[in-house]
Chain A
């Protein structure tokens, strides 16, 4: 070290560069907001792989700007049926422990455009239902990532966009399994989407809403109940608005098809879930309606009662 170098080093030691509070605060805030690396069995006996769940301010900000929610779920059948309990004597087609791991992450961030997509995969099972869902999730996440990249290429540095995909296993018991995947996407406008996929472990089949019922009129039964709840909510709270009997928006927006999202809640009740903007303005968020067992008991298939 020459004389000048020594002089500089001495000066540096003397100066002892202090880190300003704003930088210290930023470091601590960022560290405290970091997600944990999860690699453990959750309460449902489902193993999640190394999953990063960012709750950082930047991602929350991005999430607040964002627009599209996608939930992919495998739902849970409640333990509410004698017939079903007896059926448990049988060996389940799908194993009790179903593992869901993150196999891939799409990540990008430049301040204007952000992408964080976790791609889950159901493991432990090689049945057609899990294969279908894995393929579907893989394709779906790839489409979302490709769309994000394409939009970014086209828009360059103009504007902001973002997509955030995450997932949760909602339920995983002997009979039914629920995986929920959340995706938020933002662009010029905001949209919210969610979707549930269901597998009946005993049959090994993916189940859609119609598969739960014995009769074809189930949709009308459900719609009547949902309309009733919507009207009751609007009567009770003037800030609530659903698009039913509404001259401005025209037709009845409650459409229950094979793609309709639903899940079983902790009480074993069926819940019908809608996307943002599907049955009301964005301010209504993603409405969900719980259908009392009594209302659908007669039309539910025995194994789902």
Chain B
């Protein structure tokens, strides 16, 4: 049984993961904060449905993902998933200035941005990512492959200079 103190401890232990995922989806700190706040409430409300503490992170990130997607749809401020385009101005500017990894990830389309975030930043295995993003492991592998390719292209200069 996870009590309130334990719940708070688990949330704090996963705050970076929550932020990374939420930010990858809403691309805005304030919106990410709102998504995380709502996620915490939902998670707390439904903590009884969590079967094992070991699954907490995946379970929590799934709530973050669903909450963020709802947020995006509701706000209609972000273009439907799969349709987010990399703005050429930003990309060009970013390449010229050897953009940092975070900026490079931010410039990716969805769902690549989220998959990259979960895979690289959160070290989550493919099957866990598929659970969080409500898709199949095959899809995640494809998305990851394409995301890597795009990321590599964006970071070509930096990477080649390594």
Choose one: A8, A23, A56, A109; the contact of B29 (CB below 8 Å): A23
Given A12-B120, A34-B4, A37-B3, answer yes or no on A26-B41 (Cβ-Cβ < 8 Å). no
B30 within 8 A of A: yes
* Chain B residues, CB < 8 A from A110: 70, 74
User: How distant is B141 from chain A, measured CB to nearest CB, in Å?
Assistant: 14
User: How distant is A281 from chain B, measured CB to nearest CB, in Å?
Assistant: 34
* Chain B residues, CB < 8 A from A27: 11-12, 15, 18, 33, 36-37, 40
User: How distant is B64 from chain A, measured CB to nearest CB, in Å?
Assistant: 12
User: How distant is A272 from chain B, measured CB to nearest CB, in Å?
Assistant: 37
Interface size range of chain A in the complex: 35 or more
* Chain A residues, CB < 8 A from B146: none
* Chain A residues, CB < 8 A from B159: 4, 7
* Chain A residues, CB < 8 A from B71: 111
* Chain A residues, CB < 8 A from B34: 26
Given A4-B148, A12-B121, A34-B4, answer yes or no on A23-B32 (Cβ-Cβ < 8 Å). yes
* Chain B residues, CB < 8 A from A188: none
A34 touches B7 (CB 8 A): yes
B16 within 8 A of A: yes
Interface size range of chain B in the complex: 35 or more
Closest B-chain residue to A9, C-beta based? B120
Q: Tell which of B4, B34, B37, B44 has the most Cβ of chain A within 10 Å.
A: B37
Encode A3-26 as 1/0 by CB contact (under 8 A) with B: 011011101100101011011111
Given A4-B148, A19-B19, A23-B19, answer yes or no on A31-B40 (Cβ-Cβ < 8 Å). yes
Choose one: B3, B12, B20, B38; the contact of A109 (CB below 8 Å): B38
Question: Could you tell me which A residues sit within 8 Å of B by CB distance?
Answer: 4-5, 7-9, 11-12, 15, 17, 19-20, 22-27, 29-31, 34, 36-37, 50, 52, 54, 56, 58, 105, 107, 109-112, 157
Question: Could you tell me which B residues sit within 8 Å of A by CB distance?
Answer: 3-4, 7-8, 11-12, 15-16, 18-20, 29-30, 32-34, 36-38, 40-42, 44-45, 48, 70-71, 74, 100-102, 120-121, 148, 151-152, 155, 159, 162
